Amino acid sequence: MFLDKNFLLENEIAKRLFHKFAKHQPIIDYHCHLDPAYLLENKQYKNLTQVWLNDKGAGDHYKWRLMRANGIEEELISGPGDDYEKFLAFVKTVEKAPGNPIFEWSHLELQRYFDIDLTISEKNAPEIWRRANEKIQTDSYRPKELLEMMDVKAICTTDDPTDDLGYHTELSKQDNSFKVLPTFRPDKVWSIKSSGFSNYILKLSQAAAIPIKDFNGLKQALSQRVDHFHQIGCRLADHGLNTYFYEIADEKKLDNLLIKALAGKTDFYLSEIAQFVTGIQLHLMSEYTRYGWTMQMHLNALRNNSSILKEQIGVDVGGDSMGDQASLTQNVVALFDTAEKSGCLPKTILYSLNPTDWLPLATAMQSFQGGMIQKIQLGCAWWFNDTAEGMRQQLTTMAQQSLLSNFTGMLTDSRSFLSYPRHEYFRRVLCQLLSEWVKAGRIPDDEIYLSQIVENICYRNAYNYFNFFEIGIRK
């Protein structure tokens, strides 16, 4: 049966593991793109389109990509079109999407949040719209309540070093059933080829109250911002590196590169960009180590592929793809080795958008373990790999090359408050995979043993690894 209570669970062991041990575990979403302002304001959505697809130009670009592939005009995707027409355009797209995770996720979202088990189709669209909107008009469907509905205990938003984190501070004063914590996302700091770099550094200087005239000043400003984030509860950094090349330069060379960039120049050689990026990575890694943070590295992505899409609509609207950088692992290893020799290799989660990197990264990370449980993690199947097959591949790679039982589990990487059934989806895949290993005689059919693995991956490992629940936030 389509998406019945046992979908993705193909034997009795998988069903038992999921329904008895995985299903009811709370959620820690340690990487998402939810806007903390929405949670503080906790405003009521007007209709299903706003919470599901597009709210004032912000929305779920996983869905937007499919709508463009179906020939939907942009007005009904990211534009100012009528909300019901946008909904119908998405419905028509979903009908053509079997095999795509959006097909399953969208049906799960209707089931889990709205108790709507109708197939998404033009025929059923009016009833889906009516039934969902009836619930959305109640106080139970505001942003905070949507998190509580899924038993979310913590989310980590994605925040620029220049942010004052005022929303997080105010949220920390409230008696919520979940934590909303910032994540330090410093990508703009090393974007010296960007035409807006000098203006950004001025903004960073003002936020830190530290003049940035040389590389040392930049490091001081970053250190101040890390300290500020830490005081507000941050315990995670996220580096969207896309590509990474390791190259060391002395302080004088880095000074010259920064001064040139501050003057508005963008004509840098690839080796110079690598030097600047590496210099920033090493400084921040030392700061993260000092504060006991975890660094996430998101690698091998191609961003903003379509210049027209970027110019007309903006960034983070569905114009990205998988990268194919060669020798990625070699460069990451060189960075880790340098950091480790100086005692500044923090806890790290490695993600690559290209699954061909997973095995090299997983084997490389084993060279840098020690001193704690799973210091280096292979990140979950990310973005375009958020499929049943992608999840299985990542879990299998982690199991074969390291310790699966230490894995910190799933995240949403989402801008939507309706994305949390993805955790359920992951948990079903996990339980099915373990059950297959049991059936094949590869691991014991021991319920106590298996339940510990399942519960740890679904919740406890993240709880212990990130230490989010030991935080005393400055208010």
- Relative orientation angle of helices 251-262 and 215-231, to the nearest 10 degrees: 80
Largest CA distance in the chain: 67
pLDDT given for residue 56 in this prediction: 66
Residue 467's alpha-carbon distances to 152, 154, 351, 408, 472, in angstroms, are 16, 11, 21, 12, 11
Per-residue pLDDT band for 1 (boundaries 50, 70, 90) equals confident
pTM of this structure: 0.97
Dump the DSSP string for 202-262.
HHHHHHHT---SSHHHHHHHHHHHHHHHHHTT--EEEEEEES-------HHHHHHHHHHHH
pLDDT in tens, 354-386: 999 999 999 999 999 999 999 999 999 999 999
Q: Where does the pLDDT of residue 470 fall: very low under 50, low under 70, confident under 90, or very high at 90 and above?
A: confident
HSE toward the beta carbon, residue 241, CA cutoff 13 A? 27
Confidence check: pLDDT of 473 > 60: no
Q: Does the pLDDT of residue 475 top 60, yes or no?
A: no
CA distance 267 to 181: 37
What's the average model confidence in pLDDT over 246-258? Answer: 98
CA distance linking residue 419 with residue 416, whole number of Å = 6
pLDDT classification of 471: cutoffs 50, 70, 90: low
Evaluate whether 352 touches 359 at the Cβ level (below 8 Å): no
Q: In the chain, what are the domains?
A: 45-141 (1.10.2020.10), 143-466 (3.20.20.140)
Contacts of 46 (CB under 8 A, 6+ apart): 83, 136
Mean predicted confidence (pLDDT) in 15-37: 97
| Inter-CA distances, 6 with 154, 395, 428, Å | 27, 20, 9
Q: What is the pLDDT of residues 201-220, one digit of tens each?
A: 999 999 999 999 999 999 99
Per-residue confidence (pLDDT) for residue 58, from 0 to 100 = 66
Give the pLDDT mean for 319-330.
96
